[in-house]
Structure 1
Amino acid sequence: MRQIDQAYPLVRAIAPDLPVERWRSFATALTGASAPPGAPAGIMTVQNDRGYIHGLFSYAVKEDLRFGRILSVDNFVVLDLFNVSDAASSLLQTMEDLGRTLHCTAIHTNLRECYAGTPAHGHPMLGFFRDEGHDVDGVRLCKALAGDKDNMSRPLTVAGNAE
């Protein structure tokens, strides 16, 4: 639990309104005894020699329509006041090593919008990914549904279910 709590300030950099209880629940579900059996999942960190966390990502092995077995990466964050490049490179290498170890054919990474700018127009993170051979392969959209009664699931009237 100590490392989960230590990582919370980093996670707040990409999810400022996230309650600590939600982070603990999420991290414990991926790393603790309640982690789902079967497909590997977890959280990887990069730390300095004193054990301070400078970056992290969560991952899960999933099946993808085009690539088959993939390493799906979320919550990628790096906070290093002096050397963002080394921390990011270390996490990217860890991501690749993990994907190969888990026999994945590709790595899919979902980056927060704050990292989407090019190095010339905002954050350099996308450049770090491209330097390591990652390409933009699509766009992920999100519509939050919690508490929105107008967006509750309704039966389809035109389209049928895919069976």
Structure 2
Amino acid sequence: MDDCFIAKPLGRRQIDQAYPLVCAIAPGLEVDRWRAFAAAMLQGATDGGSARGSAVPATTGIMTVQNAQGYLHGLFSYAVEPHLRHGRILTVDNFVVLDLFDIAGIAETLLRAMEGLARRLGCAAIHTTLPERYIPVDSRRNPIPDCFLSEGHRQETVHFCKNLAVVNDNAPAAPEGRREAE
């Protein structure tokens, strides 16, 4: 790991700078959508609002890994939420690392920042959803999941997503001879 990398919260002036990183895990994402998401996540980090109407304080944000010159090499978004089994958890999403030479080092820096953040926020567990690109489709090893495993994380669930903006092609068909709207 390169000691020149440091984990820091994303600053408001860095939102546009982080856009290419996010596009690596969300190709085609509109810049305005990213700006709105990032602004909302950063607002939750400062306003102390409540998450989903619960009594648990909402703490959200975006953590980055930067080099000494301020270039972004990775990030994740997070929120503190209640969980049935673990109590207060840090939910991590949009985990991305972009670097040609030290993918594992940057990932480890993000993972250590994630754990430190969870401990400071009084969380009992960290739940991370990794983008599809980090799921190995063949027998080759992938440095991102490997870093999670070596830092003590384990796979606990499988996360599914149904995009409701696309046509629901698995809806049950109407019985023969009946009209859809009777």
Match 2:28 to one of 2, 17, 20: 17
Q: Deviations over 1:112-139 (max 9, x none)?
A: 1110128952532100100000000010
Give yes or no for contact 2:103–2:143 (8 Å, CA) kept in 1: no
Q: TM-score, normalised by structure 2?
A: 0.77
Q: Which amino acid aligns with 2:124?
A: T
Give the secondary structure class of the aligned counterpart of 1:66: coil
Taking a change above 3 Å as real, the CA distance of residues 133 and 24 of structure 1, as seen in their structure-2 partners, is same
Query: Which residue matches 1:44?
Result: 63
Q: How does 1:1-163 map to 2 (within 5 A)?
A: 1-32=12-43, 37=49, 38-117=57-136, 120-121=139-140, 123-146=142-165, 148=167
What is the alpha-carbon distance in structure 2 between the residues aligned to residue 113 and residue 142 of structure 1?
A: 11
Q: Which runs of 4+ in 1 moved over 6 A?
A: 149-152
Q: Which amino acid aligns with 2:15?
A: I
Give the secondary structure class of the aligned counterpart of 1:43: strand
Q: TM-score, normalised by structure 1?
A: 0.86
Q: Deviations over 1:74-131 (max 9, x none)?
A: 0000001111111111000000000000000000000011101289525321001000
Q: Which amino acid aligns with 1:93?
A: R
Name the Cα RMSD after superposition: 2.3
Q: What is the identity percentage for the equivalent residue pairs of Structure 1 and Structure 2?
A: 55
Q: Which of structures 1 and 2 has the bigger CA Rg?
A: 2
Q: How far has the Cα of 1:147 moved from its partner?
A: 5.1
- Figure out how many residues of one structure are paired with residues of the other and give that number: 152
Q: Which amino acid aligns with 2:27?
A: P
Taking a change above 3 Å as real, the CA distance of residues 149 and 138 of structure 1, as seen in their structure-2 partners, is closer
Q: Which amino acid aligns with 2:159?
A: R
Runs of 5+ unmatched residues, structure 1: 153-163
Q: Which amino acid aligns with 1:113?
A: E
Q: Which amino acid aligns with 2:17?
A: Q
What is the alpha-carbon distance in structure 1 between the residues aligned to residue 118 and residue 138 of structure 2?
A: 26
Q: How far has the Cα of 1:8 moved from its partner?
A: 0.4
Runs of 5+ unmatched residues, structure 2: 1-11, 50-56, 172-182
Query: Which residue matches 2:4?
Result: none
